Amino acid sequence: MYVQLLDLACGALLLTAVLVLWRRELTVIIRMFALQGAALAVLVGVLAAQENSAELWAVAVGVFALRAVVLPYLLRRALAGAGESRRETRPLVNVSASLLAAAVLTLLAYAVSQPLVELAPSAATQAIPVGITVVLIGFFVLVTRRRALSQLVGFLLMDNGITAVGFLATTGVGLVVELGVSLDVLLAVLVLQVLTTRMRETFGDTDLDELRELRD
């Protein structure tokens, strides 16, 4: 049961990352990010049940509250006040090429993570390539999307992947460490939200290519 639940949580992490890469509607992208936050919380909860750790259970609750509730709420609020297109209309890479890139990144993640997996073979470490794949897909979203909000979601996907790798590689991280990282991520999102609002008020849009044209 432990292995099955762990595989299910990791599968949900990977699937939501691919759906973020596939979809163009910002509302759907935010919803997928919220589901990924819930999947990450489930992953931590599975590890907590396996280790019988009250500290990990507390971390799982915190991960769910921040990554499945608070951060998606902030993203939805930023989108609601955008007053502009709610669709990523001109990504640098089209859907077909993006999905192909996701497949290549998945293979790359499995290739580069094998030495790490072989150091301590277990059900948790076997899932490390999934976390690395989420990191790579998040980076791909970050560099191929034009909307500031889409790029912010890419940054958050990378953070989710890094967090998943940390939990899978160490079978849990300290509560204080996770709390510190989560607060840093929350602060970064709040700062980026303020910057996005200022960009929209000043230039009327958050398409970064158009802002570069204004500079030129």
Burial profile 172-190: b = 16 or more Cβ within 10 angstroms, e = fewer: bbeeeebeeebeebeeebe
- Find the mean pLDDT for residues 147-155: 84
Q: What is the pTM of this model?
A: 0.82
Give the residue, 117 or 208, on which the prediction is more confident.
Answer: 117
- Find the mean pLDDT for residues 18-46: 92
pLDDT at 214 exceeding the cut of 50? no
Give the residue, 186 or 180, on which the prediction is more confident.
Answer: 186
Mean pLDDT is highest, among 35-49, 70-84, 85-99, 170-184, for: 35-49
Confidence of residue 216 (pLDDT cuts 50, 70, 90): very low
Closest CA to 175 of 52, 53, 24: 53
Give the residue, 49 or 80, on which the prediction is more confident.
Answer: 49
pLDDT of residue 121: 77
Q: How many CB atoms lie within 10 A of CB 74?
A: 17
Give the residue, 34 or 215, on which the prediction is more confident.
Answer: 34
Alpha helices for 81-174 (secondary structure H)? 95-119, 123-126, 128-144, 148-170
pLDDT at 96 exceeding the cut of 60? yes
Percent of the chain with pLDDT over 90: 31
pLDDT digits (tens, 9 = 90+) for 56-88: 888 888 889 888 998 898 888 878 766 555 677
Give the residue, 134 or 189, on which the prediction is more confident.
Answer: 134
Spatial neighbors of 126 by CB under 8 A, at least 6 apart, are: 117
Rounded mean pLDDT of the chain? Answer: 81
pLDDT at 100 exceeding the cut of 90? yes
Q: How far is CA 124 from the centre of its chain?
A: 19
pLDDT of residue 108: 94
Percent of the chain with pLDDT over 70: 75
